[in-house]
Amino acid sequence: MIEGVAAELNPPVRILLGPGPSATHPRVYRAMAAPMVSHLDPAYLQIMDDVQAMLRAAFRTQNRMTLALPGTGTSGMEAAMANLLEPGDTIVIGVAGYFGERMVEMAARYGASVVRVDAAWGTVVEPQRIRDAVRGAGRVRAVAIVQGETSTGVLQPIDEVARIAHEAGALVIVDAVTSFCTCELAVDAWELDYVYSCSQKGLSCPPGLAPISVSERAMQAIHARGRPVSNWYLDLTLLEKYWGPERAYHHTAPASMTYALHEGLRIVLEEGLPARIARHQKHAQAAQAAFEAMGMPLAAQAGHRLPPLTTVRIPEGVDDVQARGHLLRERGLEVGGGLGAFRGKAWRVGLMGHSSTAENVLLVAGALAEACAAQGVRVDAAAGSAAASKLLFGTA
């Protein structure tokens, strides 16, 4: 062996209560150990068909182009910008957090002219402001918005943004990386043109795939491009030949990840989307009640809080990095630190997928109180636990 390299791979078992990844479901680990087959094996093609059928059910769509891109959620974002934008196109992007900013940066790299609609971190982007921006922007190719802004804990209303885009003859792109399989999302009913997500948040699989669903209207726009998509790997006109009846080789599919996604989707559909969404809401509300009872204010606008991800203000006198270090060291528990405007000011508590349990609500509330106490700052853990238990178990 090489000196300094551990004799054995031995990552710790963590309690993953941050912005992702969430806890991988034990059934998903088992699925990933299934035998390797090639990307054109008839058995694998059948698995792809099954994954597409389940993704359509989860996205609530009939879109033919519903598939899983190789890469994490960001590859879904990259593919949106690469395929739907040509240099000089105008895109209107709602920006109220880190992931809205990332879309702006990506769209600009593909040569688009970006019209930003900014809102304060912790708030939604008011649809009326998007309408005004679209009206003032001339010919608009696309409107893009993040449904679940994981940096702020805000759930953005989407259906009205889609209507605004279509009134202007523009396509609508939705980042559902955190909201997919955790929040209400209806691709066909809301007429969304391009929606992307990831495998490691609401689906509780490891990171590595980006489920997407693309409308026929968007595919027509891609086929009508003046020049080829400049990103070969994520070119949907090539990918549709692999996922469609032609089955033309494009890349060696990450089969074990596809097995994981297959099992993850089966678990989602066994539970049922309405029950799953309700579970996320219930546990988020309990966690939020706990934090407020502990005197820790929530950082997201009331009425628009994102069930899978709660942002909570770090109490005065508590050092963020030290506290999260304490949680990881003493409890094996991970919560997220703040990004951008929330850096050092808020924690991001994820209760996503398999991590969204009543036990984890109580665990994280108590653990945060303990991490504060370790720095000499008292928050009322008992009040937090009582407030959460009342919502979780109906106990007084």
Ligand X SMILES: *Cc1c(COP(=O)(O)O)cnc(C)c1O
Which residues bind to ligand X, rule: CB under 6 A?
Answer: 20, 72-74, 99, 146, 148, 150, 175, 177-178, 198, 207
Nearest approach in angstroms of CB 369 to ligand X is 26
Q: Tokens for 37? A: 């087959």
Nearest approach in angstroms of CB 281 to ligand X is 18
Residue closer to ligand X by CB (options 196, 291) is: 196
Closest listed residue to residue 23, CA positions, set 322, 334, 307: 334
Q: Are 141 and 172 in contact (CB under 8 A)?
A: no
**Residues facing 212 on adjacent strands:** 67, 196
Residue of minimal Cβ distance to ligand X: 73
Nearest approach in angstroms of CB 19 to ligand X is 6
Task: Assign 3-class secondary structure to 277-337.
Answer: HHHHHHHHHHHHHHHHHCCCCECCCCCCECCCEEEEECCCCCCHHHHHHHHHHHHCEECEE
Residue closer to ligand X by CB (options 212, 362) is: 212
Nearest approach in angstroms of CB 180 to ligand X is 10
Q: Are 97 and 151 in contact (CB under 8 A)?
A: yes
Residue closer to ligand X by CB (options 203, 323) is: 203
Residue closer to ligand X by CB (options 98, 259) is: 98
Q: Are 391 and 371 in contact (CB under 8 A)?
A: no
Please give the DSSP secondary-structure letter assigned to residue 2. Answer: -
**Residues facing 187 on adjacent strands:** none
Residue closer to ligand X by CB (options 149, 193) is: 149
Residue closer to ligand X by CB (options 228, 340) is: 340
Nearest approach in angstroms of CB 257 to ligand X is 12
- CB neighbours of 330 closer than 8 A, spacing ≥ 6? 370
Nearest approach in angstroms of CB 194 to ligand X is 14
DSSP string computed for 138-175: SS-SEEEEESEETTTTEE---HHHHHHHHHTT-EEEEE
**Residues facing 142 on adjacent strands:** 91, 171
Nearest approach in angstroms of CB 110 to ligand X is 17
Residue closer to ligand X by CB (options 21, 315) is: 21
Residue closer to ligand X by CB (options 197, 385) is: 197
Nearest approach in angstroms of CB 178 to ligand X is 4
Q: How many CB atoms lie within 10 A of CB 131?
A: 20
**Residues facing 337 on adjacent strands:** 347
